[in-house]
Structure 1
């Protein structure tokens, strides 16, 4: 069974283990996070603190951009961008990893508590009833505090999440405890 997660595009470039899971995974990526990759690759501001790590991650960001710009992948993405909340057809990276680009729309549903990209991630996860993956502890805390209707996993718990994590019903029950 394929597991699905909502994630920012830069997380995929930053955490190499996400590209070699033990089980098939679909990453649903809001399109706005794909667009952020261009700014991060060309921007003067470092993505990582260590200069060597920063060069490596920016190189991986460039590879991910090239993957998304592949003519077949670009065509799939462009079709998804024609209608709000449309998913692209899977962009297959390898036998265990595919990307699905979502034409998510920020509707300010969560107010000032989340920036537009965070809102798009939360809305995408809620709409598709799938968990989010993030490395941002503050975001995880804000999701819990706001009682946003999504399940969120820390990147460090990726293997647990891929193995099945907490089933939706179990998660709902444990959240009320």
Structure 2
């Protein structure tokens, strides 16, 4: 059975190891984080610290966008967009990785402390009862300070989180 993680789409471009786990995983991705990919790909701001790494990640973002725009995948995603909190049918990447897109709706519940994307990630983790996977330490600190009732896993701990003996 696949372990589920909530995450932003861009993390797949930045952290290639997430696409090569040793056991099955399902990444539940709020739809608005896919929309962010377009801004990041074409934006002038650096995503990564060096120009070479930035170009590589922007290329990977382009590949992700192409994957999501593939007609078969696009149809699956459009099914999720018909109603708030609806999930797409699974989008298989390889034998161990599946994406599920969710049409999360930011409801300002955490709006004073968190931006809309962060709020969608939090609400998705709560609704899906799945851990949030992140590489943003400032976001992690805000979650702890606000005592948000979700499990959060740093990307650096991803392999440990997918080991068979680890209970989520």
TM superposition score normalised by structure 2 = 0.97
Unmatched runs of 5 consecutive residues or more in structure 2: none
Q: CA RMSD in A?
A: 1.1
Seen in structure 2, the aligned counterparts of structure 1 residues 119 and 156 have a Cα distance that, compared at 3 Å, is same
Over 3 Å counting, the alpha-carbon distance change for 1:130 and 1:54 in structure 2 is same
Partner of 1:65, secondary structure, is: helix
The correspondence of residues 82-97 of structure 1 with structure 2, limited to 5 A, is 82-97=82-97
SS across alignment from 2:93? strand
Count of paired positions: 168
1:158 aligns with 158
Q: Give unpaired runs (5+ residues) of structure 1.
A: 169-177
Distance 1:149 1:167 in 2: 17
Shift of 1:158: 0.4
Task: Rate the CA distance shift 1:44–1:108 in 2: closer, same or farther, 3 A.
Answer: same
1:38 Cα deviation (Å)? 0.3
Structure with the largest fraction of helix? 1
Q: Does 1:121 align with 2:121?
A: yes
Distance 1:75 1:35 in 2: 16
Q: What's the TM-score once normalised by structure 1's chain length? A: 0.92
**Counterpart check, 1:34 vs 2:34:** yes
